[in-house]
Amino acid sequence: MTGDSLPAWASIIAAVLLVVGGLCTALGSLGLLRLPSFYARMHGPSMGNTLGLGCVLLASMLLASVTSGKAVVHEVLITVFVVTTSPITAMLLMQASVRRPKVPPAG
Amino acid sequence: MNGILDFAIGFAQLCFVLAMAFAAIRVLRGPRAQDRILALDTFYVNGMMTLLALGIRSGSTMYFDVALLIALFGFVGSIALSKFLLRGEAIEP
Amino acid sequence: MRDRKPWLLVVGLTLTWLLLAAQVSLTQLLLGMAVALLMVFRFRPVRPVQPRLRRPASAFRLLGRVTLDILRSNYNVARIVLGLTGGREIRPGFVDIPLKLRDPHGLATLSAIVTSTPGTVWANLSEDGSTLTLHVLDLTENQHWIDTIKQRYESLLMEIFE
């Protein structure tokens, strides 16, 4: 049902945002797969967490607002939650991997 | 006009599914527990974005609530797992 | 009113309630405000440290800087992930940064900034709060990162919170 009566500018902006967000997320997760060590891998997913998620939420807000004719901003809540919670996960994981012994288990 | 948007949504969904696949491979491969937790964390964020793209496609706000819940519960899950790695127990007395 | 910060928190919680309800009506407004007031004043003993916003207007400058840096570092990390570094080996490593910022809210904001910028992760803050350890994906020179954190973020955060 997307965009039966969408103006051209809205769908073009939303399309660009979606493509950029998708690429960022995919590249971030590719980093999770490709980078050599755990500490380096920590940096991959934060691409998807910030720019990827931000672009998708902006596109969603734009399309919902244009379709319904009034400002729909409740996607901001997801941004707030993710921005406030992701440092905690990152810190705890960093601390855990700094303090755990280096020798990996067999297998 | 709608062709562009439909293509973009499809492309984004493809990217998110690919990202979920990468994260799933990292969960399976490890090699250490913190790698798996990080990958699981990435996995649910990507899943959340897939749901958001689905919500854009269908124009329904139902998916937004699901995405919000995934964000919150996924955070609690990752925290519990990494706290367990750090301390040996998730909830300390 | 000696301490007007609780009202800021009440307004914020009411806004969150309205966003969650996804509609603005008098019923929702009153309900949200009641819940927010109850939470703020019942739970005050649990959260004794109150933020002092000295110059809230600087927050917009900070937001602009952070957005710019997120875009730039996303580009850099994407190049590293794809292996487009011009044949140069990347060297991940830890950096120690001396901090003057002490306000807990400022530190929390700094950690959110550092974590949401790809390429840097918050690793540790020493017990006395004087040294911040960051993990950096592409560590070319330590001084560059120390300057970035101290001049771009810490000075503005101290302006806002202290």
The pLDDT value given to residue C5? 58
Looking at the structure, do residues C99 and C150 belong to the same domain, yes or no? yes
Q: Which pLDDT band, with edges at 50, 70 and 90, does C89 fall under?
A: confident
Domain membership flag for residue A4: no
Q: What is the mean pLDDT of residues B46-62?
A: 86
Count of the separate structural domains present in chain A: 1
- Residues 30-69 of chain A with CB under 8 A from chain C are 30-31, 34-35, 37, 39-40, 42-44, 46-47, 49-51
Residue whose structure tokens are 């899943």: B47
Least confident of A42-51, B32-41, B84-93, C128-137: B84-93
Task: Give the integer Cα–Cα distance in Å for A6 and A64.
Answer: 10
Same-domain status, C81 and C27: no
CA distance C114 to A91: 11
User: Which amino acid appears at position C156 of this protein?
Assistant: L
Q: Do C70 and C137 belong together in one domain?
A: yes
CB environment B61-75: b (16+ within 10 A), e (fewer): eebbeebbebbeebb
Q: Clarify whether residues C86 and C129 are in a common domain.
A: yes
Full domain range(s) for residue C81: 58-161
Share of chain B above pLDDT 70, in %: 98
Question: In which band, very low, low, confident or very high, does the pLDDT at C2 lie, cut at 50, 70 and 90?
Answer: very low
CA-based nearest distance B93→chain A, Å: 19
Q: What is the pLDDT of residue C52?
A: 72
The answer on C88 and C68 residing in a single domain is yes
Report yes or no: C20 at the A interface, CB cutoff 8 Å: yes
Beta bridge mates, C134: C95, C122
- Residue B93 is predicted with a pLDDT of 67
Q: pLDDT per residue over A45-81, tens digit each?
A: 888 888 888 898 888 888 888 887 777 788 888 888 8
Q: What is the pLDDT of residues C7-25, one digit of tens each?
A: 777 888 888 888 887 777 8
Mean local confidence (pLDDT), B21-27? 90
Number of domains chain C contains: 2
Token readout for A76 is: 């901001």
Establish whether this prediction's ipTM goes over 0.90.
no
What average pLDDT is seen over chain C?
80
Q: Do C110 and C76 share a structural domain?
A: yes
Verify whether the Cβ–Cβ distance A87 to C115 is below 8 Å. yes
A46/chain C closest Cα distance in angstroms: 5
Q: Tell whether the model's pLDDT for residue C1 goes beyond 50.
A: no
C53 falls within a domain: no
Encoded amino acid at C146, one letter = I
The full set of domains in chain B, from first to last, is 2-87 (1.10.287)
Is-contact C71 A24, C-beta < 8 A? no
Please check whether residues C35 and C115 belong to one and the same domain: no
Q: Categorize the per-residue pLDDT at C134 as very low, low, confident or very high, splitting at 50, 70 and 90.
A: confident
- B5: nearest CB among A11, A38, A99: A11
**Is C50 within 8 Å of C5 (Cβ atoms)?**
yes
**Is C142 inside a domain boundary?**
yes
Selected for mutation to probe chain A from C18, C23, C79, C81 (highest A CB count within 10 Å) is: C81
Tell me: do C72 and C138 sit in the same domain.
Answer: yes
Chain C residues with CB under 8 Å of A74 CB are 19-20, 22
Tokens of residue C79, six digits = 């190049």
Both C70 and C106 in one domain: the answer is yes
Least confident window among A37-41, A42-46, C53-57: C53-57
Same domain for C38 and C79?
A: no
Instruction: Confirm or reject contact between A26 and chain C (CB < 8 A).
Output: no
Identify which of B32, B57, B82 has the shortest CB distance to residue A2.
Answer: B57
CB nearest B79 (choices: A26, A57, A89): A89
pLDDT band at C106 (very low <50, low <70, confident <90, very high): confident
In a domain, C64, yes or no: yes
